Amino acid sequence: MKQLEVQIMGQSYLLGCPDGGDARLLDAVERVDTAMCKIREGGKVRARDRIAVLAALNLAFDLSDQGKPQALPAAVAGPSLPGEPSEKLGALLARLDDALNRDDRLL
């Protein structure tokens, strides 16, 4: 597994990337960056952690609308999630909360 340095909302992150997964990971980073910048530019939310949570919810909602689950890059996906869409969303939010609590400088 190699590492890629990316920027999300102007902040650099070093992410693990499986071999051959560069394009998928960069696409995911672009989607997250676009979603977060759009929320920030809306002007109603200023805190980076709140912007991240709203962006994650919006992206998860978009994925659920597509009718079939899509695999997330290994750097984002972590361990597999339970099967039901509501369980997946709950597990994703729990992991996001855990990550934000571990490092208040994450976003």
**Residue 86 binned pLDDT confidence (cut-offs 50, 70, 90):** low
Model confidence pLDDT, tens digit, residues 28-67: 999 999 999 999 999 888 899 999 999 999 898 888 877 6
Is the separation of the CB atoms in 81 and 92 below 8 Å?
Answer: yes
10 Å CB burial of residue 83 (0-12, 13-18, 19+) is exposed
Predicted local distance difference test score (pLDDT) of residue 99: 65
Reported pTM: 0.60
In 3D space, the residue among 5, 12, 1 whose CA is nearest the CA of residue 106 turns out to be 12
Predicted local distance difference test score (pLDDT) of residue 106: 45
